[in-house]
Amino acid sequence: MTVAVASGSAAPGQEAPGVTIVAERAAWIRVYRADKSVIFEKILETGETYSPPPETSAPLIWAGNSGSAYVRIGDQLRGPLGPGTKAVRDVPLDPAALVGSLPAVSMAPEVISRAFDAAAPAAPIAVR
């Protein structure tokens, strides 16, 4: 089952949305700074999420099984971070960069929707 994902961005004068990483299936991730110091490293299990602390300046991600790792920016889901089981590295976790480099996901996999407590849309009503 999939669930529609709304798109959106911060209104003028509002703070830019944060980034949350979510795993559709198990995916190893390392979030680090440009100087290579590690902020977070873990195998995210199915439906598990991670958000870098807001005060973290210019974090990067290295992800294994990158085809299973997505990012949520505000209320918009983007991804996956890479193709299939391949690893990607040095991907900036900057909202603007991610919006420019990753495709928007219009129908989120059920496991991702559950991770963000998204409710399934109601069944359409037939109008005659």
Q: In the chain, where are the structural domains located?
A: 2-8+17-115
- 94 by Cβ neighbours in 10 Å (0-12 / 13-18 / 19+) ranks as middle
pLDDT at 111: 85
Q: What are phi and psi of 106, to 5 degrees?
A: -85, -30
68: left (phi over 0), alpha (psi -120 to 50) or beta: alpha
Distance of CA 94 to the CA centre of its chain: 11
Residue 110 pLDDT: 85
Alpha-carbon gap, residue 86 to 75, rounded angstroms: 27
* CATH annotation of 2-8+17-115: 2.60.40
Neighbouring C-beta atoms of residue 52, cutoff 10 Å: 20
Cis ω before 80 (30° cut-off from 0): yes
Per residue in 25-65, pLDDT tens? Answer: 999 999 999 999 999 999 999 999 999 998 899 999 999 99
Token pair of 76 as six digits: 């918009």
pLDDT at residue 126 above 50?
A: no
Q: Is the pTM of this model over 0.85?
A: no
User: pLDDT tens digits, residue range 58-96?
Assistant: 999 999 999 999 999 988 999 999 999 999 999 999 999
- The pLDDT assigned to 16 comes to 61
- Of 62 and 107, the one with more pLDDT: 62
